[in-house]
Amino acid sequence: DAGVTQSPTHLIKTRGQHVTLRCSPISGHKSVSWYQQVLGQGPQFIFQYYEKEERGRGNFPDRFSARQFPNYSSELNVNALLLGDSALYLCASSLRGVNQPQHFGDGTRLSIL
């Protein structure tokens, strides 16, 4: 079975632009979570979606938004990009929620110039 896939793998943007990151969960997984990992740090929780509903939101500004589609894939959108948004954005899927094994994709490396 295919693992969690994320696209694109790398992205370069400039300040003020908008970005959309995409995630396809493992087949059968209904929960998708998004994390931001800054170099040298552990991942920080941004959003969790289960059955297309937001189930959790981390301490991130409203410039960050996400959604989950009927096929359980997900998008993370970030508006008005700042230099500090440069990070590895990770998507994780699980059958139902965070108390179950999380399967991570390899992330999207976002660089803001």
Note the residues at the interface with other proteins (CB under 8 A). Answer: 4, 33, 35, 40-45, 48, 50, 55-58, 90, 92, 97-99, 101-107
Name which of 50 and 72 has its Cβ closer to other proteins: 50
Q: Please choose, from the candidates 1, 94, 19, the residue with its C-alpha nearest in 3D space to the C-alpha of residue 10.
A: 19
The answer to whether 105 and 21 have CB atoms below 8 angstroms apart is no
Name which of 34 and 78 has its Cβ closer to other proteins: 34
Name which of 19 and 37 has its Cβ closer to other proteins: 37
Least distance between other proteins and beta carbon 51 (Å): 12
Coil, helix or strand at residue 98: coil
Residues paired with residue 29 on neighbouring β-strands, in sequence order: none
Q: Please choose, from the candidates 13, 28, 42, the residue with its C-alpha nearest in 3D space to the C-alpha of residue 94.
A: 28
Least distance between other proteins and beta carbon 16 (Å): 28
